[in-house]
Amino acid sequence: MTLYEKITTLYTELTDADFMPDSGTIMLQNDSDGKGDYIREWNHPTLAKPTQEQLDGVQ
């Protein structure tokens, strides 16, 4: 399961628009360094940035 899928499972109200470049408030990134996807920016006005524990708990 990708990071995007975990986040949208945790917060079902999120849509692709929340992740869009420029207009979105959440930016995910992968630097192809073996560390995988990560949250580069989280500026959502109402939802808190999920903790690693929350993300790890998503099946």
The residues that touch other proteins, with contacts defined as CB under 8 A, are 2-5, 16, 19-21, 27-33, 37, 40
Closest separation in Å from C-beta 50 to other proteins: 15
Yes or no: say if 26 and 19 are a contact pair by the CB < 8 Å rule: yes
Residue 38 Cβ, how far from other proteins at the closest point, in Å?
9
Amino acid identity at 56: D
Least distance in angstroms from the C-beta of 42 to other proteins: 13
**Closest CB to other proteins among 31 and 56?**
31
Q: What is the DSSP letter of 2?
A: -
Task: Give residue 21's Cα distance to chain centre.
Answer: 13
For tokens 């470049």, the residue is 21
